[in-house]
Amino acid sequence: MQKVRKMKKLTMKDIGILANVSQSTVSRVLSGHPNVKKEVRERVLKCIEENEFSPDISAQTMRGESSKILGFVSAGFENPFYLEMVGFVEREARRRGYSVIVMNSEDDEDLEKYHFKELITRHVDGIISAPVSLKNLRFLKKNKIPFVVLNENIDWLDSFYTNLYSGGEEVARFFREKNLKRVAYLGEGKSEKYKGFLSECSKGENINRLEDNVLFSLAKDLRKVVKESIAKINFDCDGYFFSSDTIALLFLEEINKLGMSLGNKVLVGYDNTIISKTLNISSVEQPMSKMAEKAIELLLDKVLKNIDIDEIHNVGLEPKLIKR
C-alpha cells in the first residue's frame, strides 16, 4: 500500500482510492458504523494511520455525521475531585473512539452558558456537565442536545451521582467502630453527607453534639470561609469529619499557621483525592470511574442508537470509605 506525498491535505476520497474502497465506506469506518467488513475496516484504518490522515470535522458534521467529540463542563478545578473526574471521562470516551473538549465554568452561571453555546457551535455529539445550574439545564433541553449531569441528583434529568447520605452514615459508623466518644462535622451545612452523618451518630449512644459541628456555605474563596470558622472548632473531640478533602487540607493548614494541631485525632475527608492520600487520612471514595463509564455509555446510546432523548436515567451509586 503506497504512501501519498503530503503536498496537500488528504481527503476521504484520497483514502478511499488508496484503500480501494468508496468514500462512503471510509466515512462509515470513521463513524464506527457496524456494517463494515472486518477486513475492509482494518485496511482503511491502516491506510489512515500510514498517511496520518485527520478527517475534516466541520465537513463531517455538515453532512450530518458524528463529530466523535464530546464536551465536558466542570464547575471548577480547585477541588482535585473534578480534575480526577476529567481523567476518568476522557479515558472512557477515548476507549470508545471519542475525544473530549474540557471547559471550566469557574462556578459562574453565565460562563457556563457561554461554554455550552461554544460546544454546540463546535458540533459536539453530546455534553457532560459536573454539575450544572438550573437555568442552563433548561437551555440544554431547549437545544435538544444529548447531555448528562454528573455528581448531582436531579430526578427529572439524566444524572449519575453518589449517595452522599450513605457516605455520611458510613463515616459515623467508622467513628463508632473506633470507639470514639465525641465527634464533629466540619464543612458544608446543606449537604446530604451531614444529614447522613447526624442520623447515624444519633443511633445508640449519640457521639455527636450539634454545637460541635462547624457549618458553612461553600464559596469561591473557600480558604477565607474556613479561616473564619476555626474559632468555632471544639478541639476536645476525638474525631473530625470534613465534608471534602479540600476542606480538610484548608483547615489543617490554617490551624497549623496558628500553631495549633488536631494531634492524633481521627480525621476523615470526602472524595478520596490525592489530598487525603497525601495527608494519609481516611476518606469516602466516590465511584468516579463507574460514574464516567455509565455517563459515556448513556450519552453514546442517545447519540448512536437514537434512544429517546426524553427518557430519564437518574442513577445513584454507593460510595466506599477508604480507611487509613
Look at 235 and 302; give whichever has higher pLDDT: 235
| Alpha-carbon Rg for the chain in angstroms | 25
- Tens of pLDDT, residue by residue over 6-27, are 446 778 888 888 889 998 888 8
pLDDT value of position 6: 44
162-283 and 10-54 share a CATH fold: no
The domain spans of the chain are 10-54, 67-160+286-316, 162-283
Superfamily of segment(s) 67-160+286-316: Response regulator (3.40.50.2300)
Alpha-carbon distances of 156 from 16, 153, 208, 262, rounded to whole Å: 45, 9, 35, 43
What values do phi and psi take at 246, rounded to 5? -60, -45
Look at 237 and 2; give whichever has higher pLDDT: 237
The CATH number corresponding to 162-283 among 3.40.50.1820, 3.40.50.2300, 3.30.2130.30, 3.40.50.150 equals 3.40.50.2300
- Tens of pLDDT, residue by residue over 157-189, are 888 999 999 999 999 999 999 999 999 999 999
Pull the grid cell for residue 207.
457521639
Lowest-pLDDT range of 102-106, 229-233, 279-283, 298-302? 298-302
* Cα–Cα distance, 297 to 191 (Å, whole number): 28
Indicate the DSSP class of residue 97. Answer: T
pLDDT value of position 249: 96
CB neighbour class for 52 (10 Å; exposed up to 12, middle 13-18, buried from 19): exposed
Q: Which residue has the cell 472524595?
A: 271
As a whole number, mean pLDDT of residues 134-152 equals: 86
In words, the CATH class of domain 10-54 is: mainly alpha
Of 75, 74, 80, give the one whose Cα is nearest residue 247: 80
Look at 220 and 287; give whichever has higher pLDDT: 287
Helical packing angle, 23-30 and 38-50, nearest 10° = 90
Residue 3 has pLDDT above 90, yes or no: no
* Cα–Cα distance, 261 to 259 (Å, whole number): 7
Helix, coil or strand: residue 145: coil
Tell me the average pLDDT of the chain.
87
Which amino acid does the sequence have at 262?
L
pLDDT band at 59 (very low <50, low <70, confident <90, very high): low
pLDDT band at 62 (very low <50, low <70, confident <90, very high): very low
- Tens of pLDDT, residue by residue over 242-279, are 999 999 999 999 999 999 988 889 999 999 999 999 99
